[in-house]
Amino acid sequence: MRFAGKRRKGEPHHPLPPEGMPLERMCRERWHHGRDGKFVNPWQSIDPRTLANVIRWKLERNTYRHLPKGTPPPVVPVDLRKVFQGDITITFLGHATFLLQVGGSVLITDPVFSNLSPYLKRRTRLPVSRKVLREITQAVLISHNHYDHFSPRALRLLRRKTAFTPLGFERYFHNAKKGSPICMDWYDQVSFGNLTLTFLPTQHWSRRTLRDTNLTLWGAFLIESPAGSIYFGGDSGYFHGYREIGSRFKIDVALLPIGAFAPRWLMKPVHLSPYEAVRAARDLKASTLIPCHWGTYQISDEPLDLPIHLLTRIKEESNLPVLIAPLLPGETFPLKRNRDIS
């Protein structure tokens, strides 16, 4: 059995799977279940997000300090007629929150509707009322427990909706009014109406307090239906698993994060840059890439609007086998399956 090398203070120490082991087998053999009850990225020997590195980040000078802070995108009120027009529609609500209408079922991803803290304000208003969301939403998909992806307040608003979460989320549903979540491990599959939901690995981590690091899992959701499929990527750094997932599943649309990528030396293992998001979409063999994780919260060094500007430049300057379809908060994308990507 191989190990991650000599352990340094603050770094994980877990056995590594045999070289060349397929991702799905690695997950089914539970290599991501650490010996100490915590979850790990089993293919990654060292997690650089130590307390010392975070302190270094806060003390060093911002590479983007010479640029304007950036402006939030304009918000378009959600048109519910468009949401329910067609077999599959994808409506961007800001950051990592999407409203997905798939074959008449309405799901919401990583619902966060307000400020993250008194110091991290929401920069765009919610493009649809909370009352409407409560009325039309049938299921909630939560990718991991970070504050910009999981909000107990939003969960209370959406109580009694079916919630699909990573392993370990029972701790957040102790109130009986919230119901019980369906907690999923990597490669678990469940049915919801005529949909199949698969929880897939990403390269990330979890924490809400100083004492619960990696006690809950993280991941992505694949939503499959007779009309098409959507991959909601949650949060992730670029990793080899995208290619294997793209070979294993048919993916029409990939919803991938593009922001919170700076400083790169710290964020690269856990957050995609716009360039890496395009690479991941190609690995996934997705026909369409819709970006998220930008323009709503200022949680890293780059200007608020830089990620979408970089992605737009890639779209304009490159001849890519994937359609890049940026959405303003409130805009709806109707899925039309008319291309095959090889």
Q: Is the peptide bond before 111 cis (omega within 30 degrees of 0)?
A: no
Query: Do residues 260 and 295 lie in contact, with contact meaning Cβ atoms separated by under 8 Å?
Result: no
> What is the predicted pLDDT for the residue at 49?
65
Query: Do residues 220 and 234 lie in contact, with contact meaning Cβ atoms separated by under 8 Å?
Result: yes
pLDDT digits (tens, 9 = 90+) for 189-247: 999 999 999 999 999 999 999 899 999 999 999 999 999 999 999 999 999 999 999 99
Residue 108 has pLDDT above 50, yes or no: yes
pLDDT digits (tens, 9 = 90+) for 17-56: 998 999 999 999 999 999 889 999 999 876 666 767 777 7
- The span from the CA of 152 to the CA of 135, in Å, is 18
pLDDT digits (tens, 9 = 90+) for 55-84: 777 777 777 777 777 899 999 999 999 999
Q: Report residue 7's pLDDT band, with 50, 70 and 90 as the boundaries.
A: very low
> What is the predicted pLDDT for the residue at 195?
98
Superfamily of domain 17-334: Ribonuclease Z/Hydroxyacylglutathione hydrolase-like (3.60.15.10)
> What is the predicted pLDDT for the residue at 323?
96
- The span from the CA of 251 to the CA of 284, in Å, is 7
130 versus 9: the higher-pLDDT residue is: 130
At position 265, the amino acid (one-letter code) is: W
What residues does each domain of the chain span? Answer: 17-334
Mean pLDDT, to the nearest integer, of 306-310? 96
Mean pLDDT, to the nearest integer, of 300-312? 96
Closest CA to 211 of 77, 81, 38: 38
4 versus 279: the higher-pLDDT residue is: 279
> What is the predicted pLDDT for the residue at 14?
73
pLDDT digits (tens, 9 = 90+) for 120-129: 999 999 999 9
Mean pLDDT of the chain: 91
Q: Report residue 335's pLDDT band, with 50, 70 and 90 as the boundaries.
A: very high
> What is the predicted pLDDT for the residue at 178?
63
Query: Do residues 3 and 16 lie in contact, with contact meaning Cβ atoms separated by under 8 Å?
Result: yes
- Do the bridges between strand 139-141 and strand 105-109 make them parallel or antiparallel, or are there none, so unpaired? parallel
> What is the predicted pLDDT for the residue at 177?
64
Query: Do residues 275 and 314 lie in contact, with contact meaning Cβ atoms separated by under 8 Å?
Result: yes
Query: Do residues 164 and 147 lie in contact, with contact meaning Cβ atoms separated by under 8 Å?
Result: no
- Do the bridges between strand 2-3 and strand 15-16 make them parallel or antiparallel, or are there none, so unpaired? antiparallel
Partnered with residue 323 across adjacent β-strands are 288
Please tell me the least confidently modeled range out of 9-13, 251-255, 283-287. 9-13
Residue 175 has pLDDT above 80, yes or no: no
> What is the predicted pLDDT for the residue at 180?
87
Provide the whole-model pTM.
0.93
> What is the predicted pLDDT for the residue at 219?
98
Q: Report residue 5's pLDDT band, with 50, 70 and 90 as the boundaries.
A: very low
pLDDT digits (tens, 9 = 90+) for 257-305: 999 999 999 999 999 999 999 999 999 999 999 999 999 999 999 999 9
